[in-house]
Structure 1
Amino acid sequence: MSGAERLIYLPLGGAGEVGMNAYVYGWGKPGKERLILVDLGVTFPDMETTPGVDLIFPDMSWLIERAVRLEAILITHGHEDHIGGIGHFWRDLRAPVYCRRFTGHLAQRKMEERGNDPEQVHVVEAFPETIEAGPFQISFLPVSHSIPESSALVIDTPVGRIVHTGDFKLDGAPVVGEPFDAELWHDIAADGIKALVCDSTNVHVENPGRSESTLTNNIRDLVLQSSGMFVATTFASNVARVKTLAEAGREAGRSVCLMGRAMLRMVQASVETGVLTDFPPVISHEEAEDIPRENLMLIVTGSQGERRAATAQLSRGKYLGLELAEGDTFLFSSKTIPGNERGVLRNVNAFSEMGVNVVDDSSSLYHVSGHANRPDLEAVHELMRPQMLIPMHGEHRMLRRHAEAGEAKGITSKVATNGTMLDLTGEYPVVCEHVETGRVYLDGAQKVGALDGVVRDRIRMALNGHVMLNVILDEEDEPLGEPWAETMGLVETGRSNAPLVELVEAEAAQFLARANDKLLTDDEKLESGLRRVVRQVSVEEIGKKPEVTVVISRLA
């Protein structure tokens, strides 16, 4: 049976982590499968582990090497962790991109920004419209999430139907977008579901999820009760929340101003694609300067502490002519993503020092998640009754807990992290291969591998400082003048109270004076010896072992 056709599932990103979603499905003989890719996302760097990096991608090498067999790229929704890599990798993959209208609007823009043909993005309608991609027939099934027109995928294969949920929640009144339709999901599962590949993000949350519409009254009451200027931040892509906030501001008699490029872009895209038809009128930031504080509401970007976003700039002072003052109110209508706490708290404390009243989500009154909680996931398990459950989109603890929930209901479940290929052909998921996966960094204009050493060296320089030592040798391979050193990121003087640079130069000069002819003619050994001298002096004087660059110049 080794040559028989098989159905495979391979996560390249998003399984064992939150972010960088990229999932491959394939059908055919081993090594010759026709493939589709579901989502191609990014994650974001931090100064501690990835300083200077712009974006982080999943390592797509495995798929790029097999791009001739790739039939289609399917994007479930417009969040960056699902769509952010499309423009960066399309030239390597060169397969048609399929998504719904709002997501397509964002995808085409990303393609244009990277010099790709936006016509390669094909807009499709929701279920029951079907596209063919090699051996697969695929439909986009509307789901509720925290961005318009999110979709699950119904993937019909030669051995059965797969439902790939994407990111979703059970919301019958999502304010913007389509509500969850249990009857439609039931009909899709009527003839049997071979595999449910399912979002695991909120599996540890024991309470049923709440609808976006439950926030309306809470937010309205808070705005009505507040004096001074009212400012709110949320995820720019959560157009439903932005609309709820704007409507609360208008109801309170306030003029509403949107601030931040991402916020303006998302609202504009929603209007242009028809998913948002009744957004309240807004004013420009120039007009906002002339509005009395008590009559003004700002809705701004930066809920995750991003240093260049509107929230952070307001926390540091004036932004586009506007600034907060004592008695104003700032609402975080969002959840802080793990890892972003420090940046968010920096802004909160800055507002507190100004006398601004900060309201966060600790009361759960002003934010609901876009992901299904454990009771909602179990309801979907019951509704779909799949032959097998494959948890995806989540850290390992989430995938494992989700698999346990499925097993408790009698559903065969398998945890497959990035690089673990599953054979879904039979009655049970079976690990059939492991492929090399990892991360790729966008560093400026270039992609670099996480193991290439670029960021590692940058971190080492940040931690240890840097010394450059320059040496000149004459035509006889004898030192010409004294070596000279330059330091960066190091204190100027150490234990002996003498300048570190002078001590390094003196020790290097003595090393050269003792060096024999053989050493002086061997650049590699000379460089190694001088590097040891510099580090030894630095450790003795300042207790640091810096990165050292030795420049040896020889006169011809």
Structure 2
Amino acid sequence: MNLNLYRQGEAWLAVDCGIGFSGNDTPEAEIILPDPVFIAERRDRLTGLVVTHAHEDHLGAIAHLWPQLGCPVYVTPFAAAVLRRKLGEAGLLQQVPIHVIAPGSAFTVGPFDLRFVSVTHSVPESQSLVLRTPQGIIVHTGDWKIDPDPQVGPPTDLETFAELGREGVLAMVCDSTNVRTEGPSASEADVRREMTRLIASLEGRIAVTCFASNVARVETLAMAAKAVGRRVAVVGRSLRNLEVAARECGYLSDVPHFLSEQDANSIPDSQILLIVTGSQGEPRSALSRIAADTHPNIALGEGDTVIYSSRMIPGNEQAVIQVQDSLTRRGVHVITDKDHLVHVSGHATGGDVRKLYDLVRPRFLIPVHGEWRHLTANAAIAQELNIEPVLLEDGDILDIRADGVEIGDTAPTGRLVLDGGRILPMNGGVLSARRRMLFNGMVLGSFAVDDEGYLIGDPKVSAPGLLDAEDPETQRVTEEFGNALDEIPDELRENDATFREAAKTALRRALGRKLQKRPLVDVHLLRV
């Protein structure tokens, strides 16, 4: 997820505002948001939010966090189509001022003199952002790669980057995601050729899963299907939304409108190609439900094929492999990029980065967008080319001046969790309790007392995930809990709050150390 801030004088500019998805380290959460507390406290000086492209990790949080930001949003036409749908679902469409900026255009936001530069990425209209400041030119690359034949949209505007280099660039903030891959980027055109050949060789139903926002890949699949006489159906809400947004902006004009998943069942297996959401093993995605045979409309089995036209995002390996295993168990042939050229990255390789640095020649390089090993690899390339790299941690505030750079301060950072319809702090009480329950379980004690606070009948203890009801240990804990309740001093029995706290302590003692866990403990007190 991304949330970047630039300050010029007293004015602030935000660049991108995206979501992240939980991994194995955060099983208690599903969708993660950046905590905007630092800029929310300065929202009166926040002049705008510029979105570089329409990926979830760059614009997915706007509909959730905009009430804390309250600023105008600047987007290209395709990103605007995607964002408007999200804002409409959140009931914010009439509140958020949206300014649509043509790709490659110059514009101003408050005191910020800005220009978009078109770049190739796995979503249409991806843009780098040029900031002209009194100190010098800063280039924020966003997500990009070099592909001379990207299939959808123009190639990366290397001539404009070269012009900026001749003018002189003070600093570049550059994507690092794929920098450890050597050589030039592979082209989407190569994927289109291989996908057409591969689909022509397969029988039965074919389902392809990819990132829903990859319009070039969706067009590739549609063109390959058309070449072999297959109709295309999209399965999954995000793909249906993508088709609407893409066609609104003039994309996918050369391919027929896609069938719905309900219509797909009326087409013979040998004449249908399904484009399906769920390439990362998301538990509620269409592909996960198909693999579990719980999807209401689509089924796959013996003789069918699933093609993973995507990369496996680190942290999602277990979920993806589980879905692939379930498909294989059902007799489905699973194909990945290890078997055929069915995916290329939308992020710049080390070769791409070297070429861009040769053109732009910035004085300073700030690597972003990647794990630490990616940032340091990007920094190493910069050093090879006599560019001074500056590595930042989340929250570092870097002063960029004509005479040098310096980390001048640190802003508070953190993560929020989208939990249903509410936003919670990752380290707050609710999620901390959920995390504790996930790993240590929960024990609940229930008991009734008379008006003087003395036990009526026997208490009940339940510990789902820790103890079975028939387990002798459950009986021991229940008996010791009852005995401990009898020993609570009279002065603590008069007030329900103090009685409950004493009862919790009693239950913890009854659990003892035998479980070798520290479960979340709670009690229900009924005063009769």
**Shorter-normalised TM range:** over 0.9
Question: How far apart, CA to CA, are the structure 1 residues paired with 2:492 and 2:263?
Answer: 73
Report the more deviating stretch, 354-363 or 137-146. 354-363
Q: What aligned pairs does 1:55-454 form with structure 2 within 5 A after superposition?
A: 55-118=31-94, 120-127=97-104, 129-317=105-293, 319-363=295-339, 365-454=341-430
Shift of 1:283: 3.0
Q: Does 1:49 align with 2:26?
A: yes
Provide the alpha-carbon RMSD of the alignment.
Answer: 2.2
SS in 1 for 2:338: helix
Asked if the contact 1:165/1:198 (under 8 Å) is kept, the reply is yes
Deviations, residues 161-180 of structure 1 (Å, cap 9, x unaligned): 11110000001111111212
Residue 3 (structure 2) aligned to one of 22, 38, 41 = 22
Q: Does 1:549 align with 2:525?
A: no
What amino acid does structure 2 have at the position aligned with 1:35? Answer: W
Question: How far apart, CA to CA, are the structure 2 residues paired with 1:546 and 1:315?
Answer: 34
SS in 2 for 1:213: helix
SS in 1 for 2:174: strand
Question: How far apart, CA to CA, are the structure 2 residues paired with 1:318 and 1:447?
Answer: 30
Q: Does 1:35 align with 2:12?
A: yes
Residue 513 (structure 1) aligned to one of 477, 486, 495 = 486
Question: How far apart, CA to CA, are the structure 2 residues paired with 1:493 and 1:214?
Answer: 60
SS in 1 for 2:363: strand
Report the more deviating stretch, 544-553 or 102-111. 544-553
Asked if the contact 1:538/1:544 (under 8 Å) is kept, the reply is no
Shift of 1:263: 1.2
Asked if the contact 1:243/1:280 (under 8 Å) is kept, the reply is no
What amino acid does structure 2 have at the position aligned with 1:375? Answer: G
Deviations, residues 99-138 of structure 1 (Å, cap 9, x unaligned): 11000111122222222245611101122x3222222111
Question: How far apart, CA to CA, are the structure 2 residues paired with 1:364 and 1:374?
Answer: 23
Question: How far apart, CA to CA, are the structure 1 residues paired with 2:432 and 2:489?
Answer: 35
- Mark the CA change 1:289 to 1:532 in structure 2 (over 3 Å): closer, same or farther: same
Q: Matched residue pairs, number?
A: 527
TM-score normalised by structure 1 residue count = 0.89
Residue in 2 aligned with 1:503?
476
Question: How far apart, CA to CA, are the structure 2 residues paired with 1:104 and 1:321?
Answer: 31
SS in 1 for 2:323: helix
Asked if the contact 1:107/1:121 (under 8 Å) is kept, the reply is no
Task: Structure 2: give runs of 5+ residues left out of the alignment.
Answer: none
- Mark the CA change 1:376 to 1:505 in structure 2 (over 3 Å): closer, same or farther: same
Asked if the contact 1:54/1:444 (under 8 Å) is kept, the reply is no
Deviations, residues 488-521 of structure 1 (Å, cap 9, x unaligned): 3332257xx5371x43332222223334434445
- Mark the CA change 1:477 to 1:130 in structure 2 (over 3 Å): closer, same or farther: same
Identity of aligned residues (%): 37
What amino acid does structure 1 have at the position aligned with 2:3? Answer: A
Asked if the contact 2:462/2:469 (under 8 Å) is kept, the reply is no
Question: How far apart, CA to CA, are the structure 1 residues paired with 2:175 and 2:241?
Answer: 27
What amino acid does structure 2 have at the position aligned with 1:42? Answer: I
Report the more deviating stretch, 321-330 or 172-181. 321-330
Residue in 2 aligned with 1:464?
440
Question: How far apart, CA to CA, are the structure 2 residues paired with 1:73 and 1:515?
Answer: 58
Asked if the contact 1:162/1:194 (under 8 Å) is kept, the reply is yes
Asked if the contact 2:12/2:46 (under 8 Å) is kept, the reply is yes
Q: Does 1:455 align with 2:410?
A: no
Asked if the contact 2:481/2:510 (under 8 Å) is kept, the reply is no
Asked if the contact 1:412/1:428 (under 8 Å) is kept, the reply is no
TM-score normalised by structure 2 residue count = 0.94
Q: Does 1:531 align with 2:504?
A: yes
SS in 2 for 1:39: strand
SS in 2 for 1:366: coil
Shift of 1:466: 2.1
Shift of 1:188: 3.0
Shift of 1:272: 0.6
Report the more deviating stretch, 232-241 or 464-473. 464-473
Report the more deviating stretch, 469-478 or 505-514. 469-478
Shift of 1:541: 6.3
Deviations, residues 450-502 of structure 1 (Å, cap 9, x unaligned): 221211211212222222223444444444444333433332257xx5371x4
- Mark the CA change 1:479 to 1:310 in structure 2 (over 3 Å): closer, same or farther: closer
Asked if the contact 2:123/2:214 (under 8 Å) is kept, the reply is yes
Shift of 1:44: 1.2
